[in-house]
Structures are given as structure tokens and as C-alpha cells.
Structure 1
Amino acid sequence: MKRTWVLAAGFSASGWFAANAGAENAARPLGEPVLEQPTLRCFGAYWVVEGDDNRNAVVHADYRKAGEPAWKRALPFFRVERDAHKGGEHGSRVVVPAGAWLFAGSVLDVDPATAWELRLRLEDPDGGKAERILQARTIAEPVFAPDPALTFHVMPGDGGGTGSAASPFRGLDAAQKAARPGACFLLAPGVYAGAFEVRASGEPGRPVVWRGDGTGEAVLDGAAAGGKRVKRVVMASGLHDVWFERLTIRNGDYGLAANGSSRFVVRRCRIHGCDYGLVSQINTDGAVRGHFIADNVIEGPSTWPRSKGIENARGIQVTGEGHVVCRNRVRGFADAIDTFPSPVCAAIDIHHNDLETLTDDGIELDYSERNTRCFRNRLTNVFQGISLQPVFGGPVYVFRNVLANVAAEPFKLHNSPSGGLIFHNTSVKRGMPAQLSTPERVRNFVFRNNLFVGTGGAYAFECQPPMEGCDFDYDGFAGREPFRMFLKWGGVRYATLAEVRFKAPVYRHAVQADAGSLFAIPVAMPADEAAPWGPPDLRLRAGSPAIDAGAPWPGINDGFAGSAPDLGALELGSAPQPVGPRPER
């Protein structure tokens, strides 16, 4: 059967994007829509709208490559709960007058280095109407070909040298005296001992580059006498346009600290022996933006299973806007990748990362305001999966991630979050397939087309918090053993899927399956989450109940193979998602 586009409540005339038709308050734009900094594969915007007290206006979104005639539909922009964007300790830089609405949204998973047009159409049955077209360009992966006249050679040592191939600078401090925009320092193999404080910034298009020369391992080592280590192996705070490539950074409390810095590239580095791998946390003036963190291997001190509570160990922490964190391998921390509170925490992409052995949260999107996007990551052996505790208004997008051996909740929605879209994810774990374990309310979340797989338990899904304005449907649940009951929601228990569909306020189109026959390659379900897993192949088996069981969403699952999208991260017939560092060409 051909299924038409099924809208979440948030995308129809009865939810977050529009609600309560029939009232008489026309919507009017309050200023122009604002394009946020595009990333490699996404771009987003927001628009403040006044009026519309009856919540029936919609901001439709369409996009196309510049110069093409036809528009493609994206999800309508998300209606942010009033004042939710100001929930963080730093408030928000976006001004939304009392009584007005903030609409925000993204175009997702598109081609890099491409010019795009985004058409926004404000429509209100009470008479409000406006249309705007924004021009955007997704970024290319950073490339820099240094000027031979500004290329300097470096070797370990304590001073001297001219920077030529015949007479390299001896040590990083000696080299740094030549640092200026466009300078590229090629580090010869060896150990560069002690803390290194970078002092010189580059310029857009003319970075200062610190790069291994490719002939062996250039090691920045913070080990000190008596078994001690430095606090920060590399200190590069308050700078901009600085690159680190093909370096090993080891033996410090922090590997690389880039607080208050912008437009850093950290690529093909190895960081280990540090409690914190790479941090860019401080953003006092709200100007931190544009990091590109890719193809790194970052290894921390944590081991599986969790035995110490929440450890002070983080792989990557960023705040600001316009960052790309992709194709990294991070293992052995409490959290692999975190967003961090600041006056701006928006338009950040975390994708195609390979994350393992994480004793708190695999990925934290905590403190995000809007248009933070987490997609196509693989998480294996994690205590909690992906955290949104809290997010401030949204939308925060979480899609096509694969989670295996999650000890607790696949998605952590604690501390009263508001504004998340969780769709097309696959989670496999021991016990109940899905649970939300917090007494605090959850607002304005949409779940669609996810696949939750467990071994059995009291429920397929136990949802403890009070839910406000949330829409959960078209998810699939599978177990090795029968569930004692199917759903607990709002304190009410529903014994069977049939009862859920008939009586519950959610999951009218949920699917139930047997975990043993769900995947093309049978998965040995975890009998004990303390035993570490290798990443399983979670592609679906043809004919399983997850096939063609999802809801179409424009701009999300266009081009699905059958009569409707499949549940989970991987459409039938698709290859496993590439994650982690790419081979160097």
C-alpha cells in the first residue's frame, strides 16, 4: 500500500509548528529570517514571528541547489516553546519579544561545498502570509596549500635553527617566533617535550598550521619528571585560524585546550593519555565558531564496564556555533562528544563518528539551543546513549545513529528538555528496549521511525516523566522474550500492542517484532551489558516487520525503497554507514 506523508503533530495543524485552528490572530514576521552558519552537510535558520496566539501559523520550508528550477520539501520549521530558548545559565543571544514566537529548522544531510536556496513561507489561516528566500552555501572540507616561502621545518630541540630543511627550528618555541598568517610548520618525527602554548593566530584562508611532516610520528608529550604530567599539552586559547594535523598529543590532563577560539582545524591527530582530549568550552563573548574536527583518534582512561560512577573524562567538548565534528574514533571516556553551555550553542554537527567504551553518555547535546544535529554515528558499549538533558527550545535533530550495548537509556531526556526530533535510529540493548527514567517533564519531542531492540523485560517502553506536547509514533520494538506489558506511559500501563493502538495517546502505528529474526545477520543479544561488544551489523532482514513500517518525512527519508520508509537507521539494501577516520589519500 502506498502510504502518504504522515505528519507528526509538530508538523501539522495540531502541534508545535501549528495548532488550534480557528482563532483570529494573524501571524506577522518580526524582522527577517536569520541564516545560521552552514556546516559541511547542513544549514539552518530561524525566524521570529509575532501574533498567532492561537498557534495555527506554519513556516513551510523548501530548498534547492542554486540554479535548479524545482524545490524540494523540507520539514516545516519548528515552533519553539515560548522562552524555552532562554533556559540556559547564559540566556540566549536571540531576542524574542514577549508574546512572539521563534521558529527554527534545518535542511539536513545535503551535499557539501554547494550553493543552496532556502524558501520560507509563513502561512496563517487567519490572514498572515509572507515569503522569504535565503542564500546558503555548505562548506567544503578545509584545504590549505602553504606558500613555500612560509613553510618551515621543525625538529625536537631547545632552540636555534632557521626553519629551512637543512637547518630546522629546534623545538616548538623556536619555531613559533616565525608564526604569522599563512605559516606552515612541518614537524619531523620525535618527541617534543613539555607544554606548548600557541600564541599566533592566522587569518581566514591563511591559517597558522602545525603539521606532522608525514615521515613518522611527531609527538607532543606532556610527561614530566616523577611520573607527573602537564595540565594542558597544547594551549591554544583566545586564537583563531590555527590548524593541527598529523600530530600525536599525549600525557596531560587536557590534550588540546582551545577555549575562546574560532576556526580551528584538528585533523588526523592522535590524542591519548589525557582525561580530556580536545576542549573548546569558553565562549564568553558568543563569538566562538567554525571548528572542523575530523579523522582523529582520541583514546581516554575509562574502561568497560562502568565501575566509578561519572568520571571526569571527556573526548571532545565544544560550544559556540558552526562546528563540524565528524569521522573521529573516540573511546575510553565518560562522554565521547559533548556540547557545552555558553551564550551561543547552536548549528553544530556531530556525524559519522565511531564511539566506544563510554561510561556516562555516548554523545551529549546538552545545552543546545537550536539546529544542533547528531547523525550517522555508531555508539558501542555506552552507559547512556545520546543525551539531551536539557536542550533549550530546539529543534535538536538526532537521526540515523546506531547504538549497541546501551546499559541504560538509549536517549536521555532528563532535566526538563524542550525541543527534540528523534528519528530513524537503531538501538540494541539488554533488558527493556526503551525507557525514559526521570520525574521531570519532557516537552515538545517527536519520535518517529526508530527501532528499539532489547532482550525482554517489564515493558517494551517504560516512560516515567510527564510528557507535554510530545508525539511518539511509528517506532518499532523487539525482544528475545515476551514483554510482561507493552507500554507504561503517564502512569498508565497498556498490556499489548493492540491495547496501545486502541487506548494510548501515543503509538497508534507502533510495530512489534522478534529480535531473533529482525536483522539480516542474526545478532547475539547481550546477556550481560558488562561484557563488551564488538560493533554488530544491524542491517534489516527482508520481510521483517520493520520493513516499510515507517512514516515518510520530507527532506528526511525521501527516496525510500519500498511502499514506505523502513524503521531504524538503515534502509533495506543500504550499505553499513561509514564511520570513523577515513584512509588518507
Structure 2
Amino acid sequence: MNHSASPIPFIVRPLFFAACLVVQTAVGENLLRNGAFAEPVSDANPLPLNWHVAPQDSAEVSLARGGSDGPVLTATIASTSSSQGQVSQRVATRPNRRLLVTADVRSSVAGAAFVQVKRYAGRRELERIALPASGTEWRTVELEIDSREADAVEVICRWKRDEKYQGGTAAFRNIRMEDLGEKVRIPLAVERVDGVATLQSIGVTATMRGDWEPGVAGRLQYRLVGEAAWREAMPPVARPSEGEFRGSVLDLRPGTEYEVAFTLLPDGKPVSTRVSTWREDVPVGRVVELPDQFDRLEPYVVALQGTADAWVHVRPAPGARGAIVAASGRPDFAVRFDGASFVLFEGFEIRGGEDDAVRINNSHDVIIRGCDIAGWGQVGAPDARGIATNALGKAINMQSGIAIHNGAERIRIERNFIHAPRGSANSWRHGHPHGATGISLSNPLGNIVVRDNDIIGSERHWWNDGIEGEYNSYVTGGPHRDSDIVGNTVAFANDDGIELDGGQRNVRCVGNLFRWTFCGVSCAPNLRGPSYVYRNVIVLGDERGRANFGFKMGGAQFANQGFSSLFRNTVVSHGNTFRGGLYGVGPNPIRSADNLYHLGAVAYQHRTGTVFAGDLVPPDGFPPHLLESGGDTPASTPVEGVASFVDETHGDYRIASAPVRHEIGAFDRATSFPSFPARGGEVSAHPALVPMGTASVGRVELALSPEAGTTWKAVSNSPWLSCSPTSGGIAASGGRIAIELKANGAKAGDGFHRGAMTFRTDRGHLRTVFVTATILPARPWSLRVEAEALESRGFALRQSADASGGAYLVATNGTPHRGAWARLDI
């Protein structure tokens, strides 16, 4: 079949979009000069006439005019870069014109080529719009847009330079823009309001019809069904490119019916709908009890199907310990959900799986609760870079305790203990980390809840990311939509604590603890939004003790970026507490409010897009250009100063004092000592962090409520760390147990060590306490070190005849407040 002769139509006509090229011409005439690429600049210069090609892109561009496909502009992708190649043409336009852009695109690897349109008023870019990307055969893409107030439009042929496209080609032909006549405006109105619930949130979408005006806004309210008074939710976010307003109603009660209402401002009428949050417990219609399963050669496959009113409860048989153990070397998964629905899978001890311990595909309404998951994946052998590889020489990566994949929707992962994979991820010392992850999210359908899990690595088993998103540059990447990540403890990650990267349509990350990770929360990129990240505690430091960013935010690689709201978080980092521009150069919409950015500076290079309001930032730790307004972005209003914590040494990050009156950070000032993350109070421990120092002994008080279960046990993440007692009955103890922790220097080896002790009940309730210890060598020894310049760590070198070697280090530029530091590796 000859596909080149008849392009496949691919048509998108959104309600509103702006960007085009228009001059006073007849309807149907191509407003682009040489849009067919029929004319080169000259015989000596084969680049297309009337099109701009940047010098850095010209080596990749060629023009073919004699083949069966007709004139074709081809880019041969020869370099790896986050920047994209481009060939562009800008044309003058008039306001309020309907403009139709069409193009044929093709690439050797699907997705490499696309056409982008930008709308301008003078020199100011108003909007950028991407047409659908290429396939491996010729595809005709089409987009009708509204010039609105623009006086110029730019059409850009773009190609991506990601590693997977290297050596491939991106091809364009028949680029056209036609003036379809004057745009007749239809007043914007609400078509319908929909809500998608989780246990504690409702994602709201107001679908609109008509034409969008600049600055249009909406109002989101909610109330319990039966209440008279409305409550205000956070303002919804306008998404003209999708014809929607979106927003989330936060911090709701499970199993409760609410009414949510959207109002188009300034004078629209409320349009409402009723939505019920998920119930904590589900109605069970059938029970399946499993005997212990050892040395399975195939995954245990769950394909059971219940109903909304009669779930299937899968649990261990009486007297069984709930073991599901895959044989060594096979299979790929210990447990696989495929085609399951309305299934509660509870109380199992899962071991093994060469790829993932648990894989979920093509399933909906599934709860995995109270499981102990460990011992999966591959160890591999390090390659020349220091990255673990399998028998085929391929880097080992994305091997997950629980993998939520294609076709997964309405999935709850709760109260699971995920720990001790077989392998360990490398640090950034060897390049981008590769290795195991606690939970992965790869193209799910969305509506995922991950709550109250402890995802604990160790000095021997570091995570790549604690919770990892795959397909970052796709809308379905990461949690995707209408999802909550809440109340989890994630520790020992050589890259991110969590990746929300992807669509982030009403995605919430709430009340989690990320400790000893290289980055905290990644929102790069946010393709749709909005996402809400609040009341998290982030304490950074990978296996080398190095820290990158508390919040890793995207850039402007993709058009119409989604909105991210970051508020009431506590970030403790010797690196940047906030960093933007990590997915393409340029700004994107972010609001940071009432966060405590402790020690590390805020790094954001743009003046537009992002606003900081009421955040506490370190002295000299905030970009001065953001203190002035830029374009449509108001000036930021952070507060410079230093907060002190109630007891940072023992992991209590409540604020003791701060130079602000309003509430900042993850905890209200009136909060009593929190066991954080805040769960149901079934298991708490004090202190949260035990610094043994050189004593090798520490103490913890464990408190357990009757709702926690009947028995408890302690699980250490390191062979050098033990405790006494290690288990017991809850009723017999009266609910309070004094725990003694011990460090075994012979097993640990000399040096500084980090560990964790997890306390878990028979009902799956969890609490992890973190431990540090310094093991001194059996025989004293000394090392003489001469001072070297360490400006990158906040130090300066000073000369002195009294100092050893004639020099010493001093902290400068406010760094005593921001935490000047250095580590000596021997």
C-alpha cells in the first residue's frame, strides 16, 4: 500500500486557540510564502526560501524537491539536546480572524516532528499551540485558531532531539495557513460540571462552550449535601486550550456526599453537581482465602471481578502467614492483576519477581492494603559507568514493588510496607540513577490513591525514585489525573522522592515525608494541571549526602503548561529548595505560597509565570528580579529570614520561631508533637529521628492504639541496626512500649551511617523511625587536611600565618543561616 500518496487526516478544532499568520488576502490563499517548500534560497543554498533557519539548526536541514512525495523539508536529527530544532516563518495578521493551519508531517520515529504556532502582539508572545505530532507515515494535521488581538503569527516546524530520536528524520510538507474570514464571537458559557472523587478530594471540571476572553475567571464552591452555606475552594484554573476550567476541592471526609458548584465570573449563575467521596471500607460480597504460596514458577494472577456493591476480598487463609513467593530467577512478577475489578487484596507477604513484585494492568477498582513487599528485581553487574546492568548489558531500571500500568483506574495502594529490593540504584556520581523504585506509575488511566505506605530503602538498597512516574512527557504519564499521593513515608532515594511528571490533571501530593533523597518532589513537566503539593516535609540528601532541589519544576518545552500550586510545605535542603526550568527553557505557571524554604536558595531565572507569596526564604536566597512585576505576573512577596525548629535534631520540624506572623510550613504552630505523616493515630513513635552519635544506643517510645491490631513487630532496614523488644502484643503492653535501639559497629563499619526501624502491626499499620550513628575506628588515627577554596559550598579561602598550611575556610554571604557545608570523602 502506498501511504505517501494519501495522507491520513488528523483534525483538531478546539474552542479557542490563538496563533496564525494573516495578511489581507483572498480566502483560500496560503498566507505562508513558499509553504510547499518548492523554492530554495539559491542553488548554492538549499535551505527553504522565506523560512528562517537558525545557524545551529541549518546543518540538520535539507530540502528535497524531486521525489514522489513532492517537495519535502527534512531534518536529520544528529544531536542530543533538550532544545528542539526549528524552521519558522512569521506573518502579519489582523485581529479576530479565523485562521486554518494545515501541514503534512512524518518521522522515522513517531512523535519526533510537529508544527507549532505562536501568536504575538508586538514583540510579546501571547500564546503557543502545538498541532498533533508525527507518525511514521505521512499524516495531515489541522488546526483552526482565532487571531484575537494578535498582530503577527509564527508557524514553526519543530523536531525533538531526545535520545530515542537520534539518527532519525523529521519531515514536513504542504504547510498552509488560510484566512477563513472574520471570527464571530459566542459568549462563553458553562456546558456542564463534572466531579471525580477520591477518599479526601474531588477533582472538578467545568466544560465550557463559546469564545474565551483574556483574563476570564471562575469560582469553585462546595458544601455537604443538606447544608445551606457554601464553602470556598481554591480558585479553578482556566484551560482555554482544552475548553475547560479545572480545580480540586481538598481535605474532605471519606464516604460523604458533597455538592460542588462552578460559577463563571463576574456574573454567571452557579452550575452544580453532586459527588460522593470514596468509602474507607468497601462492601464485601465474596471472600477468597489463599494458602501460602512458595517457589511459584508463574505469577499469581488476580483476574477476579466483583461489583460496586459486592467486592471480592482476597486474604490469607486461617493459619497461613500470607506468603506469595516467586521462585528465584522467574517469573517476571510475583503477583499480577490483569482484568480484575472490585477486588480488595489484603495482608500478604510478597517476595520475588524478576521485574516487579506486583504489576497492575487493565484493572479498575482495586485495593492493595497492608502487604509486606520485598526482595524483587535483579542485582545485576556494574558497567564501566557504575550502573547495574542485566545479562544483556541493559541498565536495570523501573523494577517496582508495585507497578501501576496501562489500563489501571481507581486503584488504592494503602498501608503497605515496601522495602529491600534485591538491587540498588546508583547515585548521580555515575550518571542518572537507574535501579529499583518503590511504586511506579506508567500510563495509568488515573484516579489513583497512594496513601499511608512506608517506602523505605537503605544504605545497601537505594531507590532510584521512591515513587516514580514513567512517560514524563505524556499527558498519561505519572499519576495522570484525579489522584492523591498522601501520608506516605519515602526514604533513601538517589533521585526523586516522587515524580508527578506528566498530565497532573487534578493531582494532589499531600502530607508526605521525603527523607534522604536527592530531590524532593518533581513536577517537571506539568502538561495539563492543576496539581496541588502541600503540607509535605522534605529533608534532602542522597547516599553521598548531596542534595539537589526540594521542588523540581518544569520549563516551557511544551505549550500551554499546566498550573502547579505549592503551599505550606517545609523544605530542608543544602541545595536549592526550589528550582524551575528543568524541562525546557522558559517560564511556566506556578504559585508558591507560605512554604518554609530552609537553608537552600530559591532558583528561578524568569520574571514571568511564577509567583512566590508569603514564603520564608533564606537571607540572600531569593532571585531579586522576581521582586518586580513582569508582564502579567505580579511581583513576588517572600519574607527573608530564618526559622528555628522545635527539635530538628530529633526530626521535629514544627516552628519554634520565625520572622512572620502567618502560618508557614507543614505544621500549624498550635500542633502538638506530630507523628508525621499524620495518619489515623494507630501507630506513633517519639522521637522521629534518633541521632545515636558515637554512643551506638538510642531510645524510642512506641504508642499503639487498639485499632492498630493485636500484635506488632519491628523491621530493621540495616544489618547493623537492631532493637529490643522486637515484637509483642498490643493489649498486653497497654499500648506503650519503650524500645531500645542499638548500632553494631562491627556490622556497620567505620563512619557515619543512616538507618531506619519500621514498626508494623498485624493489620498493616506502620510507623518508621530514622536513625543516624557514627562508628569510630577501633584504633584512633588522624588525618591532616589543608584548606582549599570551596566557594560552591558557601566558603571562601582566607590567608593566615597562624593556620596550618597558611589558610583557612570561612562562611560568607549569609551562609551561616543557609548552612554552608562540605563533606570529606576518604
TM-score, normalization: structure 1? 0.71
Residue 451 of structure 2 corresponds to which residue in structure 1?
Answer: 326
Note the C-alpha offset of 1:242.
2.4
Q: Distance in 2 between matches of 1:346 and 1:334?
A: 23
- Pairs within 5 Å for 1:147-226: 182-188=285-291, 191=294, 193-194=296-297, 195-213=299-317, 215=319, 217-224=321-328
Q: Deviations over 1:34-70 (max 9, x none)?
A: 222x000000211133445432332111111111111
**Does residue 461 in structure 1 map to residue 599 in structure 2?**
no
* Aligned residues of 1:191 and 1:218 also touching (Cα < 8 A): no
* Aligned residues of 1:63 and 1:71 also touching (Cα < 8 A): yes
Note the C-alpha offset of 1:205.
2.9
Q: Deviations over 1:84-132 (max 9, x none)?
A: xxxxxxxxxxxx4xxxx321001001111111111211124xxx62321
Residue 449 of structure 1 corresponds to which residue in structure 2?
Answer: 594
Which is further off, 340-349 or 102-111?
A: 340-349
Change (3 A) 1:199 1:192: farther
Residue 277 of structure 2 corresponds to which residue in structure 1?
Answer: 138
Q: Distance in 2 between matches of 1:334 and 1:348?
A: 22
Residue 410 of structure 2 corresponds to which residue in structure 1?
Answer: 290
Q: Distance in 2 between matches of 1:371 and 1:185?
A: 35
Note the C-alpha offset of 1:487.
3.0
* Aligned residues of 2:520 and 2:540 also touching (Cα < 8 A): no
Change (3 A) 1:415 1:375: same
Residue 363 of structure 1 corresponds to which residue in structure 2?
Answer: 498
State the SS of the aligned residue for 1:322.
strand
Residue 312 of structure 1 corresponds to which residue in structure 2?
Answer: 435
**Does residue 519 in structure 1 map to residue 645 in structure 2?**
yes
**Does residue 571 in structure 1 map to residue 659 in structure 2?**
no
**Does residue 393 in structure 1 map to residue 528 in structure 2?**
yes
Q: Deviations over 1:264-302 (max 9, x none)?
A: 11000011112311112113xxxx421111000111343
Note the C-alpha offset of 1:453.
0.8
Change (3 A) 1:358 1:546: farther
* Aligned residues of 1:356 and 1:381 also touching (Cα < 8 A): yes
Q: Distance in 1 between matches of 2:661 and 2:296?
A: 56
Note the C-alpha offset of 1:391.
1.7
* Aligned residues of 1:281 and 1:340 also touching (Cα < 8 A): no
Relative contact order (alpha carbons < 8 A, sep ≥ 6): 1 or 2 greater? 1
* Aligned residues of 2:313 and 2:345 also touching (Cα < 8 A): yes
**Does residue 488 in structure 1 map to residue 623 in structure 2?**
yes
Change (3 A) 1:209 1:294: same
Q: Deviations over 1:363-389 (max 9, x none)?
A: 111112411111011110111111112
From 400, 410, 418, the equivalent of 2:550 is: 410
Note the C-alpha offset of 1:144.
4.3
Residue 70 of structure 1 corresponds to which residue in structure 2?
Answer: 229
Residue 268 of structure 2 corresponds to which residue in structure 1?
Answer: 129
Q: Distance in 2 between matches of 1:190 and 1:259?
A: 22
**Does residue 248 in structure 1 map to residue 349 in structure 2?**
yes
Which is further off, 324-333 or 436-445?
A: 436-445
Q: Distance in 1 between matches of 2:273 and 2:426?
A: 47
Residue 651 of structure 2 corresponds to which residue in structure 1?
Answer: 536
From 251, 258, 262, the equivalent of 1:116 is: 258
* Aligned residues of 1:303 and 1:357 also touching (Cα < 8 A): no
State the SS of the aligned residue for 2:223.
strand
Q: Distance in 2 between matches of 1:28 and 1:412?
A: 35
Q: Distance in 2 between matches of 1:109 and 1:434?
A: 25
Tell me which structure has the larger Cα radius of gyration: 2
Residue 362 of structure 2 corresponds to which residue in structure 1?
Answer: 260
From 449, 460, 466, the equivalent of 1:336 is: 466
**Does residue 32 in structure 1 map to residue 32 in structure 2?**
no
Q: Distance in 1 between matches of 2:555 and 2:609?
A: 16
State the SS of the aligned residue for 2:332.
strand
* Aligned residues of 2:204 and 2:249 also touching (Cα < 8 A): no
Residue 470 of structure 1 corresponds to which residue in structure 2?
Answer: 610
Q: Distance in 2 between matches of 1:241 and 1:422?
A: 34
Note the C-alpha offset of 1:503.
10
State the SS of the aligned residue for 2:270.
strand
* Aligned residues of 2:523 and 2:551 also touching (Cα < 8 A): yes
State the SS of the aligned residue for 2:585.
coil
More strand by share: 2
Residue 735 of structure 2 corresponds to which residue in structure 1?
Answer: none
* Aligned residues of 1:29 and 1:130 also touching (Cα < 8 A): no
Change (3 A) 1:305 1:391: same
One-letter amino acid matched to 2:467: I
State the SS of the aligned residue for 2:410.
coil
Structure 1: stretches of 5+ with no match in the other structure: 1-14, 84-95, 146-181, 495-499, 525-534, 549-565
* Paired residue total: 452
State the SS of the aligned residue for 2:645.
coil
State the SS of the aligned residue for 1:325.
strand
* Aligned residues of 1:260 and 1:280 also touching (Cα < 8 A): no
Over the matched positions of the two proteins, sequence identity in percent amounts to: 25
Q: Distance in 2 between matches of 1:381 and 1:507?
A: 33
TM-score, normalization: structure 2? 0.51
From 475, 478, 482, the equivalent of 1:347 is: 482
Q: Distance in 2 between matches of 1:192 and 1:141?
A: 34
Q: Distance in 2 between matches of 1:353 and 1:67?
A: 33
Residue 563 of structure 1 corresponds to which residue in structure 2?
Answer: none
Q: Deviations over 1:4-25 (max 9, x none)?
A: xxxxxxxxxxx99xxx9xxx97
Q: Distance in 1 between matches of 2:585 and 2:629?
A: 27
User: Once superposed, what is the RMSD of the aligned Cα atoms?
Assistant: 3.1
From 103, 108, 133, the equivalent of 2:245 is: 103
